[in-house]
A and B are shown apart, each in its own frame.
Chain A
């Protein structure tokens, strides 16, 4: 095992081990409990409802906050004790972050490159590439205070990639991005994921469908399941039904079944139902999407004995 003094910047991390990590904010308020997970190269998507503990886990991985229990090993070194082992290789986009409004995007990125210890010359080249890649070159010299939410988010993505990180942690990265920019971001993540660890948390399931090689389902601070998107979808097969119901029957259907989505049609409402058996003889079995698979997994977890 490496010791703190042996840590070198080696380009790529092959392994992050999360061991029984828990986070308690108040005496009885656990945001995260007993999360154990091993991460290698590729994109792992964290999926879960609001308040599930995704951001707490990301903050712990990014060394912003310390776990109450457990530890995180980065190539065998405990990053909760030696945070620099992670920080040296980390690119982090928090869910909420600020900028210095009077600086331009270029100046802000230069500042953060200096803070991250990127040498000045390579930093300049990197900044230009990132501005271009994130379609910010035209606004690069305007004060950040005048940026729209989407532009600011792209600056956040750029700063996370400044140091060519071997570990990229991005929390709700596509918030505020328009559909075209979101697509561009997915390309970027796919490009990057070949030789680094990418941890991506989002509510937008299609972002994960497009990029994630593994998905971790988190709810109420606990890790429900970790699997490939394909396996998750396979597990939901036979539990997803399309059912056409009259408009006035919808409230009752909602009460009796778990609804994944509804679609208004000229002859009624097409309801996608998550159920073990067909909710009606008229219902038709469908292939599961990742969103369906997520709802199935949540339902199974809720039904499982504590």
Chain B
């Protein structure tokens, strides 16, 4: 047990002593300050049937708790899903693998560390929640138990599940990288939507019916609705969680909370225990950092150790003197560099990858240009997410920064070509769509697609420069993509067939693309000036 606690503590310390963790806590504070909008703020975070609780301790805790249960798992997954990856990268995993700690003990330590991160976020949220209750001053009587029980008990089982799931993903070959992040995003979206639908009680004339839901929010919200009935009998409207912009100001209703509801507390405890078996599943896939296990390991195994090629290392060739290079100026050769960048983006992909791209091309060729724009472009760009995310942070991910930074004019020569290569890659995925749009008399739509490709490439570079990793881009892209597919206003960055260039969102994304590229430039320039 000592070993597990020591491993968890070391892992947590390593995490909290990073700038990224500080940024997460600062974002938590910033988000927390938006959780309790005033009546004239123009948005609502949590409302039931056009009512909300007066900002007393119970309701304030519930608002923070609900957002912690619904939204935090999505962001949190991207924050915590590096517990094993870090040990792989730093080779600490190899040292731990040689100690007596069991695989479940090790994963248990990582689970504790993951939960440590979440608990830190909830702790900061608790402080912000108290501050916000006093700031809004609708009810300044502080009831710590009411606030803390709602704020912690609602999200904890969900966060525990997220922590365990992150470990399952990290242990499972194929889910460790960007593809796993995509899978989790859709898992989150797939659980959230039906989860919310499942607790509505339209047939019973209610907004929310109490059940044993995973998110643990139907019980407090149903209880709140009972109180709402007293103040606003026959209320209308549904359940709204998240930034509901433009909503009518809801009616504030006093609500004492359900912090003393034993049944609800037991349900939350049961949900917490229910996800522990995920840890066992992670243990099944965990390779204990054995470099000889897994497909990737097979690809990386030195050929000298594999059978026929074991004798392939030849005798060193006779000594030779290098031929001097012609004394030309090492000038900028953007075309050569573009080809080199495209090699990184397009070369040496597995055969199935080219097969799927061929599928997109065929789909674009056999369908009308409108359908190509509607489906092929978003799906192909979603398919390219792993390549885009790596493209934006390639030097950071692979440690080639010092090799590239010691080349002439690293920023001025490399960044524009990297951006252009990203655009060419985005367009290559959907190549047949472009002439079809042109030939179909839709030059406005074609321009929108070009702007979308430029924006995408700039977003990848900016996200990579900001986070020095791939996950910020993946999360941002997935949220934007999902919103676009749900026809959320302004989200369709890949173009709309029915709109002209001027009426579309393309001019906005053109500006955003320039802003992103400028951000990437600035951040990389600062990096070079260290």
**Footprint of B on A, CB under 8 Å?**
8-11, 59, 62-66, 84, 87-88, 90, 92, 94, 96-104, 107, 110-112, 114-120, 122, 125-126, 129-130, 132-133, 135, 137-139, 142-143, 145-148, 151, 159, 161, 163-164, 180-181, 184, 187, 191-192
Q: Is B316 an interface residue (CB 8 A)?
A: yes
Known interface pairs A102-B348, A117-B333, A125-B323; A145-B299 also in contact (CB < 8 Å): yes
Known interface pairs A110-B343, A142-B303, A147-B302; A97-B400 also in contact (CB < 8 Å): yes
A65, A66, A117, A130: the one contacting B332 at CB < 8 Å is: A117
Chain A positions within 8 Å of B414 at CB level = 115
Q: What are 20 A-B contacts defined by CB distance under 8 Å?
A: A62-B402, A64-B405, A65-B530, A92-B406, A97-B402, A98-B398, A99-B398, A100-B344, A101-B398, A107-B348, A110-B340, A115-B414, A122-B326, A122-B328, A132-B320, A146-B299, A147-B302, A148-B304, A164-B325, A181-B316
| Distance A126 CA – B326 CA, assembled complex (angstroms) | 11
Q: How far is the CB of B60 from chain A (nearest CB, A)?
A: 40
Report yes or no: A117 in contact with B299, Cβ–Cβ below 8 A: no
A107, A118, A126: the one contacting B323 at CB < 8 Å is: A126
Q: A103-B343, A116-B408 are in contact. List 17 more A-B contacts (CB 8 A).
A: A84-B408, A88-B330, A88-B408, A107-B343, A110-B343, A111-B341, A112-B407, A114-B339, A115-B337, A115-B340, A117-B331, A118-B325, A120-B333, A122-B325, A126-B323, A146-B299, A184-B319
| Distance A114 CA – B334 CA, assembled complex (angstroms) | 8
| Distance A163 CA – B408 CA, assembled complex (angstroms) | 11
Q: How far is the CB of B527 from chain A (nearest CB, A)?
A: 10
Chain A positions within 8 Å of B406 at CB level = 62-64, 87, 90, 92
Q: Which parts of B305-334 form the interface with A (CB within 8 Å)?
A: 312-314, 316-317, 319-333
Q: How far is the CB of B340 from chain A (nearest CB, A)?
A: 4
Report the nearest B residue to A142, measured CB to CB.
Answer: B303
Report the nearest A residue to B326, measured CB to CB.
Answer: A122
Report yes or no: B402 in contact with A164, Cβ–Cβ below 8 A: no
Q: Is B529 an interface residue (CB 8 A)?
A: yes
Report the nearest B residue to A150, measured CB to CB.
Answer: B302
B319, B337, B348, B403: the one contacting A187 at CB < 8 Å is: B319
Q: DSSP class of B's interface residues: helix, strand, loop or mixed?
A: loop
Report yes or no: A191 in contact with B321, Cβ–Cβ below 8 A: yes
Report yes or no: A92 in contact with B403, Cβ–Cβ below 8 A: yes
Known interface pairs A64-B405, A84-B408, A114-B337; A163-B325 also in contact (CB < 8 Å): yes
| Distance A59 CA – B403 CA, assembled complex (angstroms) | 11
Known interface pairs A63-B405, A84-B409, A129-B322; A116-B330 also in contact (CB < 8 Å): yes
Report yes or no: B317 in contact with A135, Cβ–Cβ below 8 A: yes
Report yes or no: A143 in contact with B328, Cβ–Cβ below 8 A: no
Report the nearest A residue to B318, measured CB to CB.
Answer: A132
Chain B positions within 8 Å of A102 at CB level = 348
Please indicate which of the listed interface residues A99, A114, A125 has the most CB atoms of chain B within 10 Å of its own CB. A114
Report yes or no: B340 in contact with A111, Cβ–Cβ below 8 A: yes
Chain A positions within 8 Å of B2 at CB level = none
Chain A positions within 8 Å of B403 at CB level = 92, 94, 97, 112, 159
Report yes or no: A103 in contact with B333, Cβ–Cβ below 8 A: no
Chain B positions within 8 Å of A103 at CB level = 343-344, 347-348
* Total residues of chain B contacting the partner, CB 8 A: 52
- Total contacts A to B, CB within 8 angstroms? 154
Q: How far is the CB of B419 from chain A (nearest CB, A)?
A: 15
| Distance A96 CA – B348 CA, assembled complex (angstroms) | 25
Chain A positions within 8 Å of B410 at CB level = 87, 115
Q: How far is the CB of A79 from chain B (nearest CB, A)?
A: 11
Known interface pairs A100-B344, A119-B333; A129-B323 also in contact (CB < 8 Å): yes
Report yes or no: A111 in contact with B413, Cβ–Cβ below 8 A: no
| Distance A96 CA – B91 CA, assembled complex (angstroms) | 14
Report the nearest A residue to B398, measured CB to CB.
Answer: A98
Q: How far is the CB of A98 from chain B (nearest CB, A)?
A: 3
Report yes or no: B399 in contact with A96, Cβ–Cβ below 8 A: yes
Could you give, for residues 80-112 of chain B, a 1 whenever the CB lies within 8 Å of some chain A CB and a 0 otherwise?
Answer: 000000000000000000000000000000000
Report yes or no: B407 in contact with A138, Cβ–Cβ below 8 A: no
Chain A positions within 8 Å of B317 at CB level = 132-133, 135, 137
Known interface pairs A112-B403, A114-B339, A143-B299; A66-B398 also in contact (CB < 8 Å): no
| Distance A139 CA – B316 CA, assembled complex (angstroms) | 13
| Distance A270 CA – B303 CA, assembled complex (angstroms) | 44
Q: How far is the CB of A59 from chain B (nearest CB, A)?
A: 8
Q: Is B301 an interface residue (CB 8 A)?
A: yes
| Distance A191 CA – B323 CA, assembled complex (angstroms) | 12
| Distance A161 CA – B324 CA, assembled complex (angstroms) | 10
By Cβ-Cβ distance, the 6 closest A-B pairs, closest first, are A98-B399, A117-B330, A164-B325, A114-B340, A98-B398, A92-B406
Q: Is B486 an interface residue (CB 8 A)?
A: no
Report yes or no: A87 in contact with B409, Cβ–Cβ below 8 A: yes
Chain A positions within 8 Å of B320 at CB level = 129, 132-133
Report yes or no: A8 in contact with B329, Cβ–Cβ below 8 A: yes
Report the nearest B residue to A98, measured CB to CB.
Answer: B399
Report yes or no: A143 in contact with B348, Cβ–Cβ below 8 A: yes
Chain A positions within 8 Å of B339 at CB level = 114
| Distance A102 CA – B350 CA, assembled complex (angstroms) | 11
Chain B positions within 8 Å of A187 at CB level = 319
| Distance A161 CA – B300 CA, assembled complex (angstroms) | 26
Please indicate which of the listed interface residues B313, B344, B394, B406 has the most CB atoms of chain A within 10 Å of its own CB. B406
Report yes or no: A146 in contact with B300, Cβ–Cβ below 8 A: yes
Q: Is B18 an interface residue (CB 8 A)?
A: no
Report yes or no: B313 in contact with A138, Cβ–Cβ below 8 A: yes
Report yes or no: B413 in contact with A100, Cβ–Cβ below 8 A: no
Chain B positions within 8 Å of A122 at CB level = 325-326, 328
Q: How far is the CB of A92 from chain B (nearest CB, A)?
A: 4
Report yes or no: A64 in contact with B330, Cβ–Cβ below 8 A: no
| Distance A126 CA – B302 CA, assembled complex (angstroms) | 25
Q: How far is the CB of A24 from chain B (nearest CB, A)?
A: 12
Q: How far is the CB of B78 from chain A (nearest CB, A)?
A: 23
Known interface pairs A98-B398, A115-B337, A126-B325; A138-B405 also in contact (CB < 8 Å): no
Chain B positions within 8 Å of A90 at CB level = 406
Report the nearest B residue to A161, measured CB to CB.
Answer: B322
A107, A115, A118, A119: the one contacting B413 at CB < 8 Å is: A115
Q: How far is the CB of B411 from chain A (nearest CB, A)?
A: 11
| Distance A133 CA – B340 CA, assembled complex (angstroms) | 24
Report yes or no: B316 in contact with A135, Cβ–Cβ below 8 A: yes
Chain A positions within 8 Å of B329 at CB level = 8-9, 88, 117
Known interface pairs A129-B320, A143-B348, A187-B319; A148-B399 also in contact (CB < 8 Å): no
Q: Which parts of B263-312 form the interface with A (CB within 8 Å)?
A: 299-304, 312
Q: How far is the CB of B1 from chain A (nearest CB, A)?
A: 36
Chain A positions within 8 Å of B314 at CB level = 135, 138
